[in-house]
Structure 1
C-alpha cells in the first residue's frame, strides 16, 4: 500500500492478496488472511485505534489480548490493525472473564493495569473521545492456542461523538482526520441511511466554513 492509503485502498490491497470478508461491526470491517491465521480490522474513521493498538502492545505479555501483527493509521482518520484470528466463546465464559477484569482479580491484574494506563492517556490527550471500558461479551474470544483474550476493551462513546454539535466536532478533530467520519459501517446499531450521512456531511462542511482561520 502507498503511504497515503485510505480504508478503501487497504481493503482493495488485501482483497487482491486473497483476504476475504469475515465480518463487520459499527466501526470497521474484517478480512481474514488466505491461510486463516490472521484478521485485518479496517476502519474508515477510528480515533480510538491508536489506543487499542497501544493496549495490545502494552498488555501483550499477559497473553490476554490479541496478538497484534501490525498497526497503521490510514489517510482520512482510518485505522488498520492486523492481528491473530480469534473465535467466539460461550457467553458465560465471556461474562466470567469480564467480571474478573471488573474486579481486578489477580489473574487479570496486569491486564487491568494496562487498560487503566492507556485509558488515562487517552483521557488526557483526547478528552472529547469519551473512551470507556466496553463490557460487551462478544469482545471476549478464544485464540488458536485456546487462551481467552479481550479485544476492543476500550471504545469511544460513539453515540455522544456523532450527536455532538458540528462546530464542536470541527474544533476537536482536524478535517484530514475525519474525512471519512460518515463512512463507518454501523452494522451493529444501524442502519445509517444515506440521508442521515449526507446531513452530517453537510453540517460538518458548514461548520468548517464557519471556523475562524488560524
Structure 2
C-alpha cells in the first residue's frame, strides 16, 4: 500500500522500491539515496533524509503500522500528528513510513500532552476522537493489537514549525504475541498469514534487549513446523 500527500517531495525515493521489497531492500535503497541512520527502537530503525527534513521509519514486522499511518492521515486536519509523506507495507510484515522530521520535547511537556489526551481536553478533542476510532479498528482487525494507546512521553514530539504532535501511539502487544509464538505457534500461524510474519524475529529491540540466538531459532522452528502441519 502506498499513500502520500500530493506535494510529497520524497515520492521519487519509494518509486524506486520494487513492489516485492522487504525491510532489507528498503534500508538498502535509503542508504544508497543518502539517508543516514539516526536511531532505533524496539520495532523499527530510523533514517534521516539528506535534506534533514524527513525521517524514514523501517520495521521488519509491524502489524500496527497501517493503523499508525491511518491515524496520521485521518487526523492530519488537527495538526497534532506528524505529516505522513509516504507509507508502504513491506513483504514479510514490514512497514515503511516517511514522515516529517521530529524533535524530542521535555518530559514534562510530553506528559502534559498525554494528560490532555486522556482527559479529552478541548484543544485535543478532535485528535482523541480519531485516536479512539482507529484504535478500536485495530482491536477488531489485528490479532494481538495492544489494548491501550501508548502513553510513553517519547511519543510526543515537536515539528520543525513548532507543533506538538503525537506519534507511534499504536503497537502490537509484543509480550503476549511473542509468548504465544513460543507456547502456541499453531495459534499464531492460524491468525497471522506467513506473508505478514516472515520477519517477526528480526525486530531491533533496542530498548528491551535482543533475544538470544537460541530463542530466535526456537521461534522460527516452531512457526515453520506449524506452517508445515497446515
Q: Fold-level match, TM-score > 0.5?
A: yes
Number of residues paired by the alignment?
A: 211
1:61 to 69, 72, 77: 77
Residue 182 of structure 1 contacts residue 200 of structure 1 at CA under 8 Å; is this kept in 2? yes
Distance 1:106 1:80 in 2: 32
TM-fit CA distance, 1:123: 1.6
> Cα RMSD (Å) of the superposition?
1.0
Unaligned runs of 5+ in 1: none
TM-score (norm 2): 0.90
Q: 1:36 aligns with which of 52, 67, 71?
A: 52
Is the contact made by 1:131 and 1:154 (CA closer than 8 Å) also made in structure 2? no
Q: Specify the alignment match of 1:191 in structure 2.
A: 210
Match of 2:19 in 1: 3
Name the residue aligned to 1:180.
199
1:132 Cα offset (Å): 2.7
* Alpha-carbon offset, residue 41 of structure 1: 0.2
Distance 2:53 2:19 in 1: 26
Unaligned runs of 5+ in 2: 1-16
| 1:115-134 mapped onto 2 (5 Å cutoff) | 115-134=131-150
Q: Take 2:209 and 2:111, find their aligned partners in 1: how far apart are those partners?
A: 25
Q: Which residue number in structure 1 is paired with residue 12 of structure 2?
A: none
Per the alignment, residue 166 of structure 2 pairs with 150
State the Cα deviation string for residues 44-82 of structure 1 (Å, max 9, x = none): 001110000000000001111110000000011100000
Is the Cα–Cα contact under 8 Å of residues 143 and 191 in structure 2 kept in the other structure? no
TM-score normalised by the chain length of structure 1: 0.96
1:122·1:131 contact (CA, 8 Å) conserved in 2?
no
The alpha-carbon deviation at position 208 of structure 1 amounts to 1.2
